[in-house]
Amino acid sequence: MEINNRRTKIALALIVIAGGILAGVGTWAFWSDTDSSTGNTVEAGTMDLAINGSANGTTEDFNLINAQPGDQVNHTYALTNEGSTEADHLEIGFNYTENDLRAEPNDSELANELNASETASLIRVQTMQYESPQGTVLDDITSNVTDTNGNGYVDLQEVNAQTNVLDDLQAPAPNSSSTTYFTLDLEVANDNAAYWTGADTTGNLTGADEDVMADGVDIAVNFTLNQDSSQ
């Protein structure tokens, strides 16, 4: 009996020791070491188009007032990207609105009120081209415009309607590192040209260049830097 009690005590002692060991194993910690990467930044860049040195647009760059057939006006726009990111391409657009500064002639044969598009069809586009920083002609826009109204020349109404010829132009480089140039030369038509009446097809012409007397348009030239080719 004494031997059995001794064996029982030894067995219980071993169980206690084993339990303690197992309990100790359960409280051991796994090692770890943590370092951090700090100072990481996500910041949007900028595209900032400047026209003739102004990032806020310009006004009254060209004016042809009290004009008669054959009178011309020309202007060159200097374009820079003052932003930090590169643009995919440049797009140019025209808007014009009627602005008659004087009354129609008293002679009823000459007093013919033209709307903005009719007047624009009597403004011949002599030159319209886009040039590189080195002055090389990148796009001769005038040669890419089709005389859709059949008046025998490229006019402002046609340029405004055929917007594809004014898209996908080479963009100036960022950080003001290069300047591209857009040049246009406009003339009041002087060949007894008829004006466009609203249908964009050959033959829809009427009147003569005398009808443009006292008629005028305000012209806006819009330049857009686009980030992506899909724009």
Q: Are 120 and 155 in contact (CB under 8 A)?
A: yes
* pLDDT score of 201 more than 70: no
Instruction: State mean pLDDT over 105-126.
Output: 78
* pLDDT score of 211 more than 80: no
pLDDT score at 111: 60
pLDDT band at 122 (very low <50, low <70, confident <90, very high): confident
Instruction: State mean pLDDT over 45-59.
Output: 89
Question: Half-sphere exposure (CA, 13 Å, Cβ side) for 110?
Answer: 9
Strand ranges, E, within 114-203: 123-131, 137-140, 180-188, 195-196
Instruction: State mean pLDDT over 75-81.
Output: 95
pLDDT score at 125: 94
Q: Tell me phi and psi for residue 205, to 5 degrees.
A: -125, 150
Between 93 and 194, the more confident residue is 93
Q: CA-to-CA distance for 94 and 186, rounded, in angstroms?
A: 13
Instruction: State mean pLDDT over 73-84.
Output: 94
Between 11 and 54, the more confident residue is 54
pLDDT score at 89: 96
What residue spans define the domains of the chain? 49-226
* Least confident piece of the model among 91-95, 171-175, 184-188, 194-198: 194-198
Instruction: State mean pLDDT over 138-143.
Output: 94
Cα dihedral across residues 204, 209, 215, 216: positive or negative: positive
196 beta partners:
205
Instruction: State mean pLDDT over 6-20.
Output: 53
pLDDT score at 203: 47
pLDDT score at 149: 81
* pLDDT score of 197 more than 70: no
For the entire predicted model, the pTM comes to: 0.76
Q: CA-to-CA distance for 38 and 120, rounded, in angstroms?
A: 60
H/E/C letters for each residue in 58-107? CCCCCCCCCCCCCCEEEEEEEEEECCCCCCCEEEEEEEEEECCCCCCCCC
Give the long-range contacts of residues 39-45, CB within 8 A, separation 24 or more. Answer: 45/83, 45/84, 45/85
pLDDT band at 90 (very low <50, low <70, confident <90, very high): very high
* pLDDT score of 106 more than 70: no
- Taking alpha carbons only, the member of 54, 61, 68 closest to residue 123 is 68
Instruction: State mean pLDDT over 14-42.
Output: 71
Q: CA-to-CA distance for 148 and 196, rounded, in angstroms?
A: 10
**Average per-residue pLDDT in the chain?**
81
Q: What is the DSSP letter of 55?
A: T
- 213-230 pLDDT tens trace: 778 899 999 999 999 999
